[in-house]
Amino acid sequence: MTRIGIIAGSTRPDRNSEQVARWANDTRAAGTTLPRSQTFGPSGGYVNSRGYDDSMERKELTERELGAWRAVFQMQEVLRNRIEQRLQAASGLSNADYGVLALLSEGPGGRMRAYELARAAGWEKSRLHHQLTRMCARGFITRERHGSRGIDVVITADGLAALKQAVPGHTQEVRRLLIDRLSPGQLDQLSEIATTVLDGLQADQLNE
């Protein structure tokens, strides 16, 4: 079908207690927490459930690296929240709804294999299942058997209409919040950086 939509770290603590406390605050601010099976070893590294202190294998983030990570993380959170607020207010769609509909609209006949959709969205199987169940209930998509075990996800007329109604406002918000703040050269740099990181993440996922 014709494309009509757009798809929407931490440092190792050392022995200094003030730095450990600051690190803990930083990880909470970044949305990460220390697993219960891990505690701090005498050298300030992690001790896992087997008692292994891996502090020597972890390298602290420099101020430059930490600043870059925080900027990327905060930008991502603010953009996602603001775009979703406007999207839901204008169309009743979440970012996840919009992303699924946009991907399906670009597939042959408005359909994709479920595993292909999960890969394109970057989601785990369980997350995709729950998302598709909600969208089926709203009449945006259907799930159809493909062969003996496969599943096709198909956009419905209602789903396509919802996407078409949402696209203009969503595109305007993306432009206002991101595109218009950057020069053409900065946009090219942003795209190149994001592609480099995504390629690495996808390669890691294939090797897991």
Give strand ranges (E) for 7-96.
39-40, 46-47
In the chain, where are the structural domains located?
9-60, 63-177
Nearest-angstrom CA–CA distance, 11 and 58 = 8
Nearest to 22 by CA among 51, 48, 60, 68: 60
* pLDDT means over runs of 10, the chain (208 residues): 52 42 50 45 45 58 95 96 95 96 95 93 92 97 89 96 96 96 97 94 78
- Contact present, 16 and 107 (Cβ < 8 Å): no
Nearest to 151 by CA among 170, 133, 168: 133
Nearest-angstrom CA–CA distance, 133 and 183 = 41
Phi–psi pair at 145, nearest 5 degrees: -65, 140
Encoded amino acid at 111, one letter: R
63-177 CATH fold: Arc Repressor Mutant, subunit A (1.10.10)
- Cα 158 to Cα 44, 87, 105, distances in angstroms: 56, 17, 12
Give pLDDT, residue 13: 39
For strands 39-40 and 46-47, give the pairing.
Answer: antiparallel
H or E, element range at 175: helix 157-177
H or E, element range at 201: helix 184-207
Give pLDDT, residue 16: 43
Neighbours of 197 (CB within 10 A): 11
Nearest-angstrom CA–CA distance, 8 and 96 = 9
Give pLDDT, residue 159: 97
* pTM for the structure as a whole: 0.69
- Contact present, 80 and 134 (Cβ < 8 Å): no
Give pLDDT, residue 5: 58
40 - beta bridge partners? 46
